Structure 1
Amino acid sequence: MSVENQSAGIVIIGAGLAGWHVVDAIRAKDKDIPITLITADNGDRYHKPMLTMAISQQKNAADLVRATGSDAAKAANINLLANTQVTDIDPASQTVQLISALRSDPVYTNYATISYDKLVLAMGAHPIFPKSLPEDLVWHVNHIERFGQLQEKLAAG
Protein backbone atom coordinates (compact mmCIF):
# COMPACT_ATOMS: atom_id res chain seq x y z
CA MET A 1 0.00 0.00 0.00
CA SER A 2 1.41 3.42 -0.93
CA VAL A 3 1.87 6.30 1.49
CA GLU A 4 -0.83 8.30 -0.31
CA ASN A 5 -3.42 5.62 0.46
CA GLN A 6 -2.51 5.69 4.15
CA SER A 7 -2.87 9.46 4.44
CA ALA A 8 -5.29 10.73 7.08
CA GLY A 9 -5.50 13.86 4.98
CA ILE A 10 -6.50 17.34 5.96
CA VAL A 11 -9.06 18.17 8.61
CA ILE A 12 -10.65 21.62 8.51
CA ILE A 13 -12.63 22.80 11.52
CA GLY A 14 -15.19 25.42 10.50
CA ALA A 15 -17.37 25.57 7.39
CA GLY A 16 -17.84 29.29 7.09
CA LEU A 17 -16.38 31.39 4.32
CA ALA A 18 -12.80 30.65 5.42
CA GLY A 19 -13.30 26.90 5.74
CA TRP A 20 -14.89 26.52 2.33
CA HIS A 21 -12.22 28.76 0.76
CA VAL A 22 -9.55 26.46 2.19
CA VAL A 23 -11.36 23.50 0.60
CA ASP A 24 -11.46 25.34 -2.74
CA ALA A 25 -7.77 26.26 -2.55
CA ILE A 26 -6.71 22.70 -1.71
CA ARG A 27 -8.89 21.21 -4.45
CA ALA A 28 -7.38 23.63 -6.98
CA LYS A 29 -3.98 22.06 -6.21
CA ASP A 30 -4.92 18.46 -5.35
CA LYS A 31 -8.14 16.73 -6.43
CA ASP A 32 -7.51 13.54 -4.45
CA ILE A 33 -6.12 14.32 -0.99
CA PRO A 34 -8.64 13.32 1.68
CA ILE A 35 -10.36 16.34 3.25
CA THR A 36 -12.72 16.28 6.21
CA LEU A 37 -14.66 19.44 6.99
CA ILE A 38 -16.15 19.65 10.49
CA THR A 39 -18.87 22.15 11.35
CA ALA A 40 -21.30 22.70 14.20
CA ASP A 41 -24.00 23.70 11.69
CA ASN A 42 -25.16 22.11 8.43
CA GLY A 43 -22.24 23.44 6.35
CA ASP A 44 -24.32 25.32 3.79
CA ARG A 45 -22.32 27.61 1.54
CA TYR A 46 -23.36 31.25 1.55
CA HIS A 47 -21.56 34.56 1.23
CA LYS A 48 -21.40 35.88 4.79
CA PRO A 49 -21.18 39.58 3.86
CA MET A 50 -24.66 39.24 2.33
CA LEU A 51 -26.08 38.82 5.84
CA THR A 52 -25.68 42.54 6.45
CA MET A 53 -27.81 43.48 3.42
CA ALA A 54 -30.31 40.64 3.34
CA ILE A 55 -33.00 42.26 5.49
CA SER A 56 -33.03 45.49 3.50
CA GLN A 57 -33.22 43.40 0.31
CA GLN A 58 -36.10 41.39 1.79
CA LYS A 59 -34.22 38.10 1.44
CA ASN A 60 -34.60 35.17 3.77
CA ALA A 61 -31.93 32.73 4.88
CA ALA A 62 -32.78 30.21 2.14
CA ASP A 63 -32.24 32.91 -0.51
CA LEU A 64 -28.64 33.34 0.63
CA VAL A 65 -27.63 29.67 0.41
CA ARG A 66 -25.62 29.03 -2.75
CA ALA A 67 -25.26 25.28 -2.08
CA THR A 68 -26.30 22.98 0.72
CA GLY A 69 -23.46 21.57 2.77
CA SER A 70 -24.21 18.11 1.45
CA ASP A 71 -24.21 19.20 -2.19
CA ALA A 72 -21.06 21.31 -1.76
CA ALA A 73 -19.26 18.40 -0.08
CA LYS A 74 -20.16 16.05 -2.95
CA ALA A 75 -19.03 18.60 -5.54
CA ALA A 76 -15.70 19.09 -3.74
CA ASN A 77 -15.25 15.37 -3.02
CA ILE A 78 -14.83 15.89 0.72
CA ASN A 79 -16.18 14.27 3.87
CA LEU A 80 -18.51 16.75 5.62
CA LEU A 81 -19.17 16.17 9.31
CA ALA A 82 -22.10 18.54 9.83
CA ASN A 83 -23.79 19.25 13.16
CA THR A 84 -20.62 18.05 14.85
CA GLN A 85 -18.59 19.70 17.59
CA VAL A 86 -14.90 19.26 18.30
CA THR A 87 -14.37 18.37 21.94
CA ASP A 88 -10.60 17.99 21.91
CA ILE A 89 -7.57 18.31 19.66
CA ASP A 90 -4.47 16.25 20.45
CA PRO A 91 -1.56 17.57 18.39
CA ALA A 92 0.80 14.87 19.74
CA SER A 93 -1.30 12.03 18.30
CA GLN A 94 -2.74 14.23 15.51
CA THR A 95 -6.32 13.37 16.41
CA VAL A 96 -9.55 15.30 16.85
CA GLN A 97 -12.33 14.11 19.15
CA LEU A 98 -15.90 14.82 18.09
CA ILE A 99 -19.45 14.66 19.31
CA SER A 100 -22.47 14.94 17.05
CA ALA A 101 -25.07 17.55 17.95
CA LEU A 102 -27.68 15.17 16.51
CA ARG A 103 -26.92 12.32 18.92
CA SER A 104 -29.77 11.52 21.24
CA ASP A 105 -27.41 10.27 23.98
CA PRO A 106 -25.06 13.07 25.12
CA VAL A 107 -23.44 10.90 27.81
CA TYR A 108 -20.80 9.56 25.44
CA THR A 109 -18.58 12.53 24.66
CA ASN A 110 -16.11 10.43 22.65
CA TYR A 111 -18.50 10.08 19.74
CA ALA A 112 -15.62 9.73 17.31
CA THR A 113 -11.91 10.26 17.02
CA ILE A 114 -10.42 11.05 13.65
CA SER A 115 -6.81 11.45 12.60
CA TYR A 116 -5.24 14.16 10.50
CA ASP A 117 -1.97 14.86 8.71
CA LYS A 118 -2.69 18.60 8.52
CA LEU A 119 -5.18 20.58 10.60
CA VAL A 120 -6.78 23.91 9.69
CA LEU A 121 -8.72 25.96 12.25
CA ALA A 122 -11.20 28.14 10.37
CA MET A 123 -13.64 28.83 13.17
CA GLY A 124 -14.23 32.53 12.68
CA ALA A 125 -14.81 35.13 15.32
CA HIS A 126 -17.14 35.27 18.26
CA PRO A 127 -18.37 38.83 18.79
CA ILE A 128 -18.20 40.47 22.21
CA PHE A 129 -21.55 41.17 23.83
CA PRO A 130 -21.79 44.74 25.17
CA LYS A 131 -22.75 44.43 28.85
CA SER A 132 -24.40 47.86 28.85
CA LEU A 133 -27.18 46.71 26.50
CA PRO A 134 -30.10 44.40 27.31
CA GLU A 135 -29.23 40.96 25.95
CA ASP A 136 -32.67 40.43 24.43
CA LEU A 137 -32.23 43.55 22.27
CA VAL A 138 -28.77 42.80 20.84
CA TRP A 139 -28.46 40.48 17.87
CA HIS A 140 -25.10 39.21 16.64
CA VAL A 141 -25.81 38.07 13.11
CA ASN A 142 -22.58 36.22 12.46
CA HIS A 143 -23.98 33.16 10.71
CA ILE A 144 -26.99 32.25 8.63
CA GLU A 145 -28.85 30.40 11.39
CA ARG A 146 -28.76 33.49 13.59
CA PHE A 147 -29.96 35.59 10.64
CA GLY A 148 -32.95 33.26 10.26
CA GLN A 149 -33.75 33.64 13.97
CA LEU A 150 -33.64 37.44 13.65
CA GLN A 151 -36.00 37.30 10.69
CA GLU A 152 -38.45 35.17 12.67
CA LYS A 153 -38.29 37.64 15.57
CA LEU A 154 -38.87 40.61 13.26
CA ALA A 155 -41.78 38.86 11.54
CA ALA A 156 -43.37 38.23 14.93
CA GLY A 157 -43.21 41.94 15.68
Structure 2
Amino acid sequence: MTGSPHIVVIGSGLAGYGVLRELRKLAPDARLTLVTQDDGHFYSKPALSTALAKGKVADTLVTTAAEKMATQLKLDLRAGRVVEAIDRQDKAVLTTGGPIFYDRLVLALGAEPIRPPIEGDAAHRAMAVNSLDHYRDFREKLPDGARVLIMGSGLVGTEFANDLAATGYRPVVVDMLGHPLAQLVPADVGSSIRDALSEKGVEWHLGRKVMAIHKTDGGIRAELDDGMEIEAAAVLSAVGLRPNVQLAQDAGLDVGRGIRVDQTGRTSDPDIFAIGDCAEYPSGLAAYVTPIMAAARAIAPSALGTPTDIRFPPLSVQVKTTACPVVLLPAPQGVAGNWEEAANDSMGLKYLFRDSDGAVRGYVFTQEYCQERMDMDRALSEQLAGVAA
Protein backbone atom coordinates (compact mmCIF):
# COMPACT_ATOMS: atom_id res chain seq x y z
CA MET A 1 0.00 0.00 0.00
CA THR A 2 1.49 3.36 -1.01
CA GLY A 3 1.20 6.32 1.33
CA SER A 4 -0.26 6.21 4.80
CA PRO A 5 -3.25 3.88 5.16
CA HIS A 6 -6.55 4.97 6.65
CA ILE A 7 -7.01 2.82 9.75
CA VAL A 8 -10.42 2.69 11.44
CA VAL A 9 -10.72 1.39 14.99
CA ILE A 10 -14.11 0.39 16.44
CA GLY A 11 -14.26 0.67 20.25
CA SER A 12 -12.92 3.25 22.70
CA GLY A 13 -11.86 0.99 25.58
CA LEU A 14 -8.29 0.22 26.58
CA ALA A 15 -7.86 -2.05 23.53
CA GLY A 16 -9.06 0.57 21.03
CA TYR A 17 -7.05 3.42 22.50
CA GLY A 18 -4.08 1.12 23.15
CA VAL A 19 -3.74 0.21 19.48
CA LEU A 20 -4.34 3.84 18.40
CA ARG A 21 -1.48 5.01 20.64
CA GLU A 22 0.86 2.45 19.11
CA LEU A 23 -0.29 3.34 15.58
CA ARG A 24 0.34 7.02 16.15
CA LYS A 25 3.85 6.32 17.49
CA LEU A 26 4.73 4.31 14.38
CA ALA A 27 2.89 6.41 11.79
CA PRO A 28 2.76 10.14 12.65
CA ASP A 29 0.93 10.90 9.38
CA ALA A 30 -1.51 7.98 9.15
CA ARG A 31 -5.24 8.75 9.00
CA LEU A 32 -6.76 7.31 12.16
CA THR A 33 -10.49 7.21 12.83
CA LEU A 34 -12.12 6.00 16.04
CA VAL A 35 -15.76 4.93 15.95
CA THR A 36 -17.51 4.39 19.28
CA GLN A 37 -21.10 4.22 20.46
CA ASP A 38 -19.90 5.71 23.77
CA ASP A 39 -18.74 9.29 24.35
CA GLY A 40 -15.12 8.24 23.88
CA HIS A 41 -13.75 9.29 27.29
CA PHE A 42 -10.76 7.27 28.44
CA TYR A 43 -10.93 5.49 31.80
CA SER A 44 -9.68 2.31 33.44
CA LYS A 45 -12.32 -0.40 33.46
CA PRO A 46 -10.53 -2.38 36.23
CA ALA A 47 -10.95 0.73 38.44
CA LEU A 48 -14.74 0.27 38.47
CA SER A 49 -14.54 -2.50 41.08
CA THR A 50 -12.41 -0.42 43.50
CA ALA A 51 -14.00 3.00 42.95
CA LEU A 52 -16.12 3.13 46.10
CA ALA A 53 -13.21 2.67 48.51
CA LYS A 54 -11.23 5.27 46.56
CA GLY A 55 -14.09 7.78 46.80
CA LYS A 56 -14.57 7.91 43.02
CA VAL A 57 -17.83 8.57 41.18
CA ALA A 58 -18.34 7.96 37.46
CA ASP A 59 -17.17 11.42 36.36
CA THR A 60 -13.97 11.30 38.44
CA LEU A 61 -13.05 7.90 36.97
CA VAL A 62 -12.47 9.56 33.58
CA THR A 63 -8.71 10.00 33.23
CA THR A 64 -8.71 11.78 29.85
CA ALA A 65 -11.69 13.41 28.13
CA ALA A 66 -12.55 12.28 24.60
CA GLU A 67 -11.69 15.63 22.99
CA LYS A 68 -8.24 15.58 24.59
CA MET A 69 -7.62 11.99 23.43
CA ALA A 70 -8.62 12.99 19.90
CA THR A 71 -6.23 15.97 19.96
CA GLN A 72 -3.32 14.03 21.49
CA LEU A 73 -3.59 11.17 19.01
CA LYS A 74 -4.70 13.32 16.03
CA LEU A 75 -7.84 11.21 15.59
CA ASP A 76 -11.02 11.68 13.68
CA LEU A 77 -13.33 10.78 16.60
CA ARG A 78 -16.82 9.60 15.66
CA ALA A 79 -18.47 9.28 19.09
CA GLY A 80 -22.06 8.20 19.67
CA ARG A 81 -22.07 6.16 16.46
CA VAL A 82 -23.42 2.62 16.39
CA VAL A 83 -21.73 0.34 13.86
CA GLU A 84 -24.49 -1.57 12.10
CA ALA A 85 -22.43 -3.65 9.67
CA ILE A 86 -19.05 -4.12 8.02
CA ASP A 87 -19.06 -4.13 4.19
CA ARG A 88 -15.89 -6.13 3.50
CA GLN A 89 -16.24 -5.91 -0.27
CA ASP A 90 -16.22 -2.10 -0.38
CA LYS A 91 -14.13 -1.88 2.82
CA ALA A 92 -16.62 0.31 4.65
CA VAL A 93 -17.95 0.46 8.20
CA LEU A 94 -21.68 1.22 8.06
CA THR A 95 -22.64 3.43 11.01
CA THR A 96 -25.68 5.37 12.19
CA GLY A 97 -23.79 8.46 10.96
CA GLY A 98 -23.09 7.08 7.49
CA PRO A 99 -20.38 4.86 5.96
CA ILE A 100 -16.69 5.19 6.88
CA PHE A 101 -14.23 3.68 4.40
CA TYR A 102 -11.05 2.00 5.60
CA ASP A 103 -7.80 0.49 4.35
CA ARG A 104 -7.37 -1.47 7.57
CA LEU A 105 -9.95 -2.09 10.28
CA VAL A 106 -9.30 -2.94 13.95
CA LEU A 107 -12.14 -4.45 15.99
CA ALA A 108 -11.86 -3.58 19.70
CA LEU A 109 -15.44 -4.52 20.51
CA GLY A 110 -14.94 -5.80 24.06
CA ALA A 111 -17.28 -8.24 25.77
CA GLU A 112 -20.80 -8.05 27.10
CA PRO A 113 -22.11 -9.29 30.45
CA ILE A 114 -23.69 -12.74 30.42
CA ARG A 115 -27.30 -12.52 31.55
CA PRO A 116 -28.46 -15.75 33.22
CA PRO A 117 -32.12 -16.72 32.81
CA ILE A 118 -33.94 -15.56 35.95
CA GLU A 119 -37.66 -15.44 36.71
CA GLY A 120 -39.55 -12.68 38.50
CA ASP A 121 -40.83 -9.15 37.85
CA ALA A 122 -37.50 -7.56 38.91
CA ALA A 123 -35.12 -9.84 37.00
CA HIS A 124 -34.28 -6.86 34.75
CA ARG A 125 -32.96 -4.97 37.78
CA ALA A 126 -29.85 -7.17 37.92
CA MET A 127 -27.22 -4.63 36.84
CA ALA A 128 -23.93 -5.57 35.23
CA VAL A 129 -21.22 -2.96 35.72
CA ASN A 130 -19.05 -3.17 32.61
CA SER A 131 -18.76 0.49 31.60
CA LEU A 132 -18.72 4.00 33.01
CA ASP A 133 -22.42 4.47 32.25
CA HIS A 134 -23.26 1.18 34.00
CA TYR A 135 -21.26 2.32 37.04
CA ARG A 136 -23.02 5.70 37.14
CA ASP A 137 -26.39 3.93 37.04
CA PHE A 138 -25.34 1.50 39.78
CA ARG A 139 -24.09 4.25 42.12
CA GLU A 140 -27.18 6.42 41.63
CA LYS A 141 -29.44 3.53 42.65
CA LEU A 142 -27.44 2.62 45.76
CA PRO A 143 -28.57 4.05 49.13
CA ASP A 144 -25.78 4.47 51.71
CA GLY A 145 -25.13 1.33 53.75
CA ALA A 146 -27.51 -0.71 51.59
CA ARG A 147 -27.62 -4.46 51.29
CA VAL A 148 -26.40 -5.42 47.79
CA LEU A 149 -26.92 -8.84 46.24
CA ILE A 150 -23.98 -9.92 44.05
CA MET A 151 -24.55 -12.82 41.65
CA GLY A 152 -21.18 -14.43 40.96
CA SER A 153 -17.94 -14.76 42.91
CA GLY A 154 -15.42 -14.62 40.09
CA LEU A 155 -12.93 -11.74 39.84
CA VAL A 156 -15.49 -8.98 39.35
CA GLY A 157 -17.99 -10.24 41.94
CA THR A 158 -15.32 -10.80 44.59
CA GLU A 159 -13.68 -7.41 43.97
CA PHE A 160 -17.04 -5.63 44.18
CA ALA A 161 -17.86 -7.51 47.41
CA ASN A 162 -14.55 -6.28 48.87
CA ASP A 163 -15.14 -2.71 47.69
CA LEU A 164 -18.73 -2.54 48.95
CA ALA A 165 -17.85 -4.05 52.35
CA ALA A 166 -14.93 -1.63 52.75
CA THR A 167 -17.29 1.34 52.32
CA GLY A 168 -20.08 0.41 54.71
CA TYR A 169 -22.39 -1.52 52.37
CA ARG A 170 -23.57 -5.06 53.11
CA PRO A 171 -22.79 -7.37 50.20
CA VAL A 172 -24.48 -10.77 49.89
CA VAL A 173 -22.73 -13.04 47.37
CA VAL A 174 -24.48 -15.97 45.69
CA ASP A 175 -22.54 -18.39 43.47
CA MET A 176 -23.21 -21.86 42.13
CA LEU A 177 -19.60 -22.93 42.79
CA GLY A 178 -18.15 -23.87 46.17
CA HIS A 179 -15.71 -21.03 46.79
CA PRO A 180 -14.79 -17.56 45.45
CA LEU A 181 -12.64 -17.48 42.28
CA ALA A 182 -13.41 -21.19 41.90
CA GLN A 183 -12.34 -21.28 38.24
CA LEU A 184 -8.99 -19.67 39.01
CA VAL A 185 -7.73 -20.81 42.43
CA PRO A 186 -7.56 -23.97 44.58
CA ALA A 187 -10.24 -24.45 47.26
CA ASP A 188 -7.96 -23.48 50.18
CA VAL A 189 -7.23 -20.10 48.60
CA GLY A 190 -10.93 -19.58 47.88
CA SER A 191 -11.76 -20.40 51.49
CA SER A 192 -9.21 -17.90 52.82
CA ILE A 193 -10.67 -15.16 50.58
CA ARG A 194 -14.19 -16.08 51.75
CA ASP A 195 -13.17 -15.99 55.41
CA ALA A 196 -11.30 -12.67 55.12
CA LEU A 197 -14.27 -11.02 53.41
CA SER A 198 -16.73 -12.59 55.89
CA GLU A 199 -14.86 -10.77 58.65
CA LYS A 200 -15.50 -7.51 56.77
CA GLY A 201 -19.23 -8.22 56.64
CA VAL A 202 -19.70 -10.10 53.36
CA GLU A 203 -22.43 -12.76 53.51
CA TRP A 204 -21.89 -15.83 51.31
CA HIS A 205 -24.34 -18.33 49.79
CA LEU A 206 -22.08 -20.71 47.87
CA GLY A 207 -23.26 -23.73 45.91
CA ARG A 208 -26.52 -21.80 45.41
CA LYS A 209 -28.30 -20.20 42.47
CA VAL A 210 -30.65 -17.20 42.12
CA MET A 211 -33.88 -18.50 40.57
CA ALA A 212 -36.08 -15.40 40.71
CA ILE A 213 -35.94 -11.71 41.61
CA HIS A 214 -39.12 -9.94 42.74
CA LYS A 215 -39.87 -6.26 43.36
CA THR A 216 -40.36 -5.01 46.91
CA ASP A 217 -41.02 -1.55 48.34
CA GLY A 218 -37.38 -1.18 49.36
CA GLY A 219 -35.74 -2.85 46.36
CA ILE A 220 -35.79 -6.56 45.53
CA ARG A 221 -36.33 -10.00 47.03
CA ALA A 222 -34.30 -12.83 45.50
CA GLU A 223 -35.32 -16.47 45.67
CA LEU A 224 -32.51 -19.07 45.78
CA ASP A 225 -32.73 -22.66 44.57
CA ASP A 226 -32.88 -23.95 48.18
CA GLY A 227 -35.94 -21.78 48.91
CA MET A 228 -34.02 -19.13 50.85
CA GLU A 229 -35.04 -15.49 50.25
CA ILE A 230 -32.67 -12.50 50.28
CA GLU A 231 -33.84 -8.90 50.43
CA ALA A 232 -31.57 -6.18 49.07
CA ALA A 233 -31.66 -2.63 47.70
CA ALA A 234 -29.82 -3.52 44.49
CA VAL A 235 -28.54 -6.52 42.49
CA LEU A 236 -25.19 -6.69 40.77
CA SER A 237 -24.79 -9.38 38.12
CA ALA A 238 -21.18 -10.57 37.85
CA VAL A 239 -21.57 -14.00 36.30
CA GLY A 240 -19.06 -13.39 33.51
CA LEU A 241 -18.52 -11.79 30.13
CA ARG A 242 -19.03 -13.04 26.58
CA PRO A 243 -16.89 -11.67 23.70
CA ASN A 244 -18.79 -9.36 21.34
CA VAL A 245 -18.65 -11.30 18.08
CA GLN A 246 -21.97 -10.50 16.37
CA LEU A 247 -20.65 -7.74 14.10
CA ALA A 248 -17.76 -9.95 12.97
CA GLN A 249 -20.01 -12.98 12.54
CA ASP A 250 -22.48 -11.00 10.43
CA ALA A 251 -19.55 -9.88 8.25
CA GLY A 252 -18.57 -13.51 7.65
CA LEU A 253 -15.38 -13.48 9.71
CA ASP A 254 -14.16 -16.68 11.39
CA VAL A 255 -15.59 -16.73 14.92
CA GLY A 256 -15.21 -19.22 17.80
CA ARG A 257 -15.61 -18.14 21.42
CA GLY A 258 -14.20 -14.82 20.22
CA ILE A 259 -13.20 -13.35 16.85
CA ARG A 260 -10.45 -15.72 15.73
CA VAL A 261 -7.10 -14.07 14.99
CA ASP A 262 -3.64 -15.34 14.08
CA GLN A 263 -0.37 -14.63 15.88
CA THR A 264 -0.33 -11.07 14.43
CA GLY A 265 -3.93 -10.26 15.47
CA ARG A 266 -5.25 -10.61 11.91
CA THR A 267 -8.72 -12.11 11.39
CA SER A 268 -9.76 -14.35 8.50
CA ASP A 269 -9.96 -11.11 6.44
CA PRO A 270 -6.37 -9.87 5.81
CA ASP A 271 -7.44 -6.22 6.24
CA ILE A 272 -9.27 -6.68 9.54
CA PHE A 273 -7.68 -7.19 12.98
CA ALA A 274 -9.21 -7.84 16.41
CA ILE A 275 -7.86 -7.06 19.87
CA GLY A 276 -8.83 -7.33 23.53
CA ASP A 277 -11.83 -9.02 25.08
CA CYS A 278 -13.49 -9.71 21.71
CA ALA A 279 -10.46 -11.53 20.24
CA GLU A 280 -9.67 -15.23 20.36
CA TYR A 281 -5.90 -15.58 20.00
CA PRO A 282 -4.22 -18.89 19.01
CA SER A 283 -3.71 -19.47 22.77
CA GLY A 284 -7.37 -18.66 23.56
CA LEU A 285 -9.16 -15.67 25.07
CA ALA A 286 -6.95 -13.17 26.91
CA ALA A 287 -8.76 -10.45 28.81
CA TYR A 288 -7.07 -8.07 31.29
CA VAL A 289 -4.69 -5.16 30.77
CA THR A 290 -1.32 -6.88 30.14
CA PRO A 291 -2.37 -8.92 27.07
CA ILE A 292 -4.18 -5.94 25.57
CA MET A 293 -1.03 -3.80 25.71
CA ALA A 294 1.12 -6.66 24.34
CA ALA A 295 -1.34 -7.22 21.48
CA ALA A 296 -1.50 -3.49 20.66
CA ARG A 297 2.29 -3.37 20.26
CA ALA A 298 2.12 -6.09 17.57
CA ILE A 299 -1.19 -5.27 15.86
CA ALA A 300 -0.15 -1.66 15.14
CA PRO A 301 2.86 -2.57 12.94
CA SER A 302 0.91 -5.50 11.45
CA ALA A 303 -1.93 -3.16 10.42
CA LEU A 304 0.66 -0.79 8.92
CA GLY A 305 2.06 -3.55 6.72
CA THR A 306 4.81 -5.15 8.85
CA PRO A 307 3.42 -8.45 10.20
CA THR A 308 4.55 -8.73 13.83
CA ASP A 309 3.86 -11.63 16.18
CA ILE A 310 2.10 -10.90 19.47
CA ARG A 311 4.31 -11.96 22.36
CA PHE A 312 2.37 -12.35 25.58
CA PRO A 313 4.36 -12.17 28.81
CA PRO A 314 3.07 -14.31 31.73
CA LEU A 315 -0.46 -12.93 32.11
CA SER A 316 -0.60 -12.66 35.88
CA VAL A 317 -3.47 -10.87 37.60
CA GLN A 318 -3.72 -8.89 40.81
CA VAL A 319 -7.04 -9.56 42.52
CA LYS A 320 -8.09 -6.26 44.09
CA THR A 321 -9.30 -7.70 47.40
CA THR A 322 -7.64 -5.59 50.10
CA ALA A 323 -9.09 -7.87 52.80
CA CYS A 324 -7.04 -10.74 51.35
CA PRO A 325 -4.48 -9.68 48.72
CA VAL A 326 -4.09 -12.26 45.93
CA VAL A 327 -1.96 -12.44 42.77
CA LEU A 328 -2.32 -15.30 40.34
CA LEU A 329 -1.30 -16.67 37.00
CA PRO A 330 -4.21 -18.85 35.83
CA ALA A 331 -3.39 -22.38 34.74
CA PRO A 332 -3.21 -22.42 30.91
CA GLN A 333 -6.39 -23.48 29.11
CA GLY A 334 -6.42 -27.16 28.16
CA VAL A 335 -3.15 -28.04 29.97
CA ALA A 336 -3.28 -31.12 32.21
CA GLY A 337 -1.70 -30.71 35.62
CA ASN A 338 -2.28 -30.17 39.32
CA TRP A 339 -2.11 -27.45 41.95
CA GLU A 340 0.41 -28.15 44.68
CA GLU A 341 0.71 -26.33 47.99
CA ALA A 342 4.14 -24.69 48.31
CA ALA A 343 3.50 -22.70 51.51
CA ASN A 344 0.76 -22.29 54.10
CA ASP A 345 1.89 -20.17 57.03
CA SER A 346 1.58 -16.79 58.71
CA MET A 347 2.75 -15.09 55.48
CA GLY A 348 -0.15 -16.53 53.51
CA LEU A 349 -0.68 -19.26 50.94
CA LYS A 350 1.43 -20.20 47.96
CA TYR A 351 0.25 -22.67 45.29
CA LEU A 352 2.00 -23.71 42.08
CA PHE A 353 0.31 -25.32 39.08
CA ARG A 354 2.56 -27.97 37.56
CA ASP A 355 1.90 -29.58 34.19
CA SER A 356 2.36 -33.31 33.54
CA ASP A 357 6.10 -32.74 32.97
CA GLY A 358 6.44 -31.02 36.35
CA ALA A 359 6.98 -27.54 34.89
CA VAL A 360 5.37 -24.61 36.74
CA ARG A 361 2.70 -23.10 34.47
CA GLY A 362 0.61 -21.10 36.95
CA TYR A 363 0.59 -19.84 40.53
CA VAL A 364 -1.52 -18.30 43.27
CA PHE A 365 0.04 -16.23 46.07
CA THR A 366 -1.83 -14.56 48.94
CA GLN A 367 -0.98 -11.98 51.60
CA GLU A 368 2.78 -11.34 51.93
CA TYR A 369 3.68 -13.91 49.27
CA CYS A 370 2.21 -11.47 46.71
CA GLN A 371 5.60 -9.72 46.83
CA GLU A 372 7.09 -12.66 44.93
CA ARG A 373 4.96 -11.98 41.85
CA MET A 374 7.57 -10.08 39.81
CA ASP A 375 10.32 -12.64 40.47
CA MET A 376 7.98 -15.49 39.54
CA ASP A 377 6.80 -13.73 36.35
CA ARG A 378 10.44 -13.09 35.38
CA ALA A 379 11.36 -16.75 35.95
CA LEU A 380 8.37 -17.95 33.92
CA SER A 381 9.20 -15.48 31.12
CA GLU A 382 12.70 -16.90 30.91
CA GLN A 383 11.28 -20.43 30.94
CA LEU A 384 8.93 -19.52 28.05
CA ALA A 385 11.76 -17.87 26.12
CA GLY A 386 13.86 -21.03 26.59
CA VAL A 387 11.02 -23.20 25.25
CA ALA A 388 10.52 -20.86 22.26
CA ALA A 389 14.25 -20.91 21.48
Q: Which residue of 2 aligns with 1:45?
A: 42
Deviates more, 1:137-146 or 1:34-43: 137-146
Residues 49-60 of structure 1: pairs in structure 2 closer than 5 A:
49-60=46-57
1:108 is aligned to none
Q: Could you tell me how far 1:4 is from its partner in structure 2?
A: 2.3
* 1:57 Cα deviation after fit: 2.2
Q: Answer yes or no: is 1:116 the counterpart of 2:113.
A: no
| CA apart distance, 1:155 | 4.3
Change in CA separation of 1:65 and 1:113 when aligned onto 2, cut-off 3 Å: same
Please provide the CA RMSD for this pair.
1.8
Which SS does the other structure have where 1:35 is aligned?
strand
- Letter of the structure 2 residue corresponding to residue 40 of structure 1: Q
1:132 aligns with 2:118: yes
Deviation at residue 31 of structure 1 after TM alignment: 1.2
Q: Which has the higher contact order (CA 8 A, sep 6+)?
A: 1
1:4 aligned onto 2:31: no
Any runs of at least 4 consecutive aligned residues in structure 1 with deviations exceeding 3 A, and if so which?
none
Between Structure 1 and Structure 2, the one with more strand by share is 2
Deviation at 1:132, TM superposition (A): 3.1
Secondary structure of 2:16 counterpart: helix
Give the partner amino acid of 2:55.
Q
Give the one of 80, 85, 99 matched to 2:82.
Answer: 85
Q: Distance in 2 between matches of 1:66 and 1:39?
A: 17
Question: Given the alignment, which residue of 146, 149, 155 partners 2:137?
Answer: 149
Give 1:58 deviation, angstroms.
Answer: 2.4
Identity over aligned pairs, percent: 35
Q: Which moved more, 1:33-42 or 1:146-155?
A: 146-155
Report the Cα offset of residue 71 of structure 1. 1.1
Deviation at 1:70, TM superposition (A): 1.3
By how many angstroms is 1:76 displaced? 0.6
User: In structure 2, what is the Cα distance between the partners aligned to 1:128 and 1:88?
Assistant: 23
What is the deviation of 1:87?
1.2
What TM-score do the two structures reach when normalised by structure 1? Answer: 0.84
Map of 2:63 onto structure 1: 66
Distance in structure 1 (CA, Å) of the matches to 2:93 and 2:70: 20
- The verdict on how the C-alpha distance between 1:32 and 1:135 changes in structure 2, with shifts beyond 3 A counting, is farther
> How many Å separate the matches in 1 of 2:82 and 2:15?
17
In the alignment, the residues of structure 1 paired with residue 68 and residue 108 of structure 2 have an alpha-carbon distance, to the nearest angstrom, of 20
Candidates 94, 101, 114, aligned match of 1:97: 94
In structure 1, distance between residues paired with 2:17 and 2:123: 31
> How big is each residue's C-alpha offset from its partner over 1:2-52, in whole Å with a ceiling of 9 and x where there is no partner?
x427x4x00000001110001111112111100100000100000110011
Superposed CA deviations along residues 38-96 of structure 1, whole A, max 9, x for unmatched, are: 00010000011001111232210111101111111111101110000111111111011
Q: How many pairs does the alignment contain?
A: 142
Unaligned runs of 5+ in 1: 100-110
Aligned residue type for 1:30: A
TM-score, reference length from structure 2: 0.35
